[in-house]
Structure 1
Amino acid sequence: MHGPHVRSPPEGVAAGQEKPETGAMSQAAGEQVKQAIAGVFDRASDTYDRTGVEFFSIVGRTLVEQADVQPGDRVLELGCGRGAATMPAAERVGAGGHVLALDLAPGMVSRLRDDLEQAGLRQVTCRVGDAEAPDAEPGAWDVVLASLVLFFLPDHEQAMRSYRDLLRPGGRLAFSWFAVDDDRWERVFEELVAELPPSSRSARRPGQDGPFASADAMDAFLRDAGYNPVTEVRPLTVRYPDDATWWSTMWSHGRRSTLERLQDEGLLDSTMARMREHLDGVRTEDGALEWTGGMAYTVAAR
């Protein structure tokens, strides 16, 4: 599953690293992966979700709506990025509620704090924190929120089980993930890793393993973990007005990890040229590029 904007690197989270399947990674290796991801997003934080392409904002708003965040709620957000879900959640909880937004990348946290101050949303606390093992009060949250994050955690299954202990009785775990890919982009992204050694190309794609394999698999996993889940898949089209916007967007999220490696090895220009040979397969009549797929929104009550 490629997705239009990837929250974390899919082709090896750092040079020479391949991300093993769930359960195959030691704690030390998992920490190394998470720190590599944090570094990528530190470097991307200035332009993350700021290239003029609507994607994260749509998914974030929809997730908050699906979670049915209410005035006065206490919301714990994991992997907040630049606030695509934080902002609508803060507006919904109002002055009587509270949002604790965590991200492992300090640059994301710093920029989101600035954005929150400018918006006057004082009901949000934003700090560096680990989505896999959040430092948050147990049994205190009406909603645990995570937009396009959980499938990249080294042990996402254990993490999802553990979130139940953070929720108040009747609280909800709500998260979004890629459910339906746009196969027209397959050739484009094959070229992205064509010159990299096989050891750096993770076979794992978000939405292809474990509970993320399908909506039914997700709901079955969560029921077994003690939740009452409902997953809804909604279609989504992401539009890049021109090739330059698409390319700048590639640098603004998790794909940056692979682009940086290609640049370091002197392979970026040749890779970019080959990728562009396949863009006509996703081009509209007016010259824009489009990705059309499906996003899953899961709300699981405690």
Structure 2
Amino acid sequence: MSTTDRMKADMATAYDRIAEEYDHSGVEYYEPLARVLVARARLRAGDRVLDLGCGTGNVLFPAARAVAPGGTVVGIDLSRNMIARAEAAVSQQGLHDVTLAVMDGEAPEYPPASFDAVLSNVSVTLFPGAPAALRRYRDLLRPGGRLVFTAPVFDGDGFPSVLPSALKDTLRRMISLLHEVGFPKPYMDSGLWFGDAPSLRHALRSAGFDEVDVVEEPLTMAMESGEMWLRWLWVHAAMRLFWDRLDPRHQEELAAAIAEELDALRDVDGVIRYDVTARSVVAFPA
């Protein structure tokens, strides 16, 4: 099995394990980004939409509302348990315009010109072969179609803004431990193609997109405790894979340090808050 295939298998297994807790961390990040994503996609009634790495459906459902009546939304994900949870939600809501499939988001098995919009809420930035897959997404689009996705923003030290600066010393300790436990290097390098806006635009134009609009999206993270933030961190498959490789002593040390540092960010109302920045990207094929 290739390194890329092993990474995908590991990620699918990790998301299968965390599917039940995925929507219950108590920290909102993907939900507001999903609303930004759907708004920027400018979906219309009758549109056919593909959601890459759909998870439990934070994009599926607002997209389905946006394309009604007459439109359809197709969600794909490598995790069977994530798809099962999304299917249960589709059934509960009585939706008939949403279909789901267990499928590799880097190689969607649909004919060319099948969709008016291909969407991804951060997930495409986690795919190990995403730069090569961008051309496949372009081919899936009908005339006038667009690829729309969200992506994290990194600071000058290489940390994603979703991780507060107050944690930097602890995060450096975590990175050191990543190397010590032999965390595969491709996991750590997978974000290089979108690490800054010029790199992101270059990757998309190389894949055949000639109109690329990148917008900085300010968000505020809010949580009641450092423990809540850790639960949110653990529903990210790569971080869960890393955490599970640590011995219990290191897990306990890191958890205590993170909780203490986040507690210092409490507002007068007792809620921990900090500002983050993400990117939303809309790209049209040449």
TM-score, L = length of structure 2: 0.87
**Structure 1: which 5+ residue stretches go unaligned?**
1-26
Aligned pairs for 1:117-196 (under 5 A) are 117-180=91-154, 181=161, 182-196=164-178
Q: 1:90 aligns with which of 64, 68, 72?
A: 64
Contact map agreement 1:192 1:275 (CA 8 A) in 2: no
Shift of 1:110: 0.1
| CA–CA separation in structure 1 for the residues paired with 2:115 and 2:205 | 20
Matched residue, 1:38: 12
Shift of 1:42: 0.6
Contact map agreement 1:82 1:111 (CA 8 A) in 2: yes
Partner of 1:46, secondary structure, is helix
CA deviation map 1:11-42 (0-9, x unaligned):
xxxxxxxxxxxxxxxx7211110010011111
Matched residue, 1:217: 199
Contact map agreement 2:221 2:273 (CA 8 A) in 1: yes
CA deviation map 1:125-158 (0-9, x unaligned):
0111111111122211100111111222122111
Shift of 1:270: 2.8
Does the C-alpha gap of structure 1 residues 198 and 298 become closer, same or farther in structure 2, counting only changes over 3 Å? same
**Amino acid in the other structure paired with 1:100:** V
Is 2:257 the counterpart of 1:274?
Answer: yes
Aligned pairs for 1:284-299 (under 5 A) are 284-299=267-282
| CA–CA separation in structure 2 for the residues paired with 1:158 and 1:206 | 12
Shift of 1:250: 2.6
Partner of 1:278, secondary structure, is helix
Q: 1:229 aligns with which of 212, 215, 225?
A: 212
Does the C-alpha gap of structure 1 residues 119 and 219 become closer, same or farther in structure 2, counting only changes over 3 Å? same
Contact map agreement 1:178 1:206 (CA 8 A) in 2: no
Shift of 1:214: 1.8
Does the C-alpha gap of structure 1 residues 38 and 129 become closer, same or farther in structure 2, counting only changes over 3 Å? same
Greater CA drift, 266-275 or 125-134: 266-275
CA deviation map 1:52-108 (0-9, x unaligned):
322111111110110111110000110001111111101111141111100000010
Partner of 2:2, secondary structure, is helix
Does the C-alpha gap of structure 1 residues 135 and 266 become closer, same or farther in structure 2, counting only changes over 3 Å? farther
Q: 1:262 aligns with which of 242, 246, 270?
A: 246
| CA–CA separation in structure 2 for the residues paired with 1:199 and 1:111 | 32
Q: Which has the higher contact order (CA 8 A, sep 6+)?
A: 1
| CA–CA separation in structure 1 for the residues paired with 2:53 and 2:213 | 22
| CA–CA separation in structure 1 for the residues paired with 2:46 and 2:80 | 28
Query: % of aligned pairs identical?
Result: 33
Is 2:27 the counterpart of 1:72?
Answer: no
How many residues are paired up?
A: 273
Contact map agreement 1:77 1:146 (CA 8 A) in 2: yes
The structure in which a higher percent of residues are helix is 2
**Amino acid in the other structure paired with 1:122:** H
TM-score, L = length of structure 1: 0.83
Matched residue, 1:3: none
Matched residue, 1:4: none
| CA–CA separation in structure 1 for the residues paired with 2:170 and 2:136 | 37
Matched residue, 1:107: 81
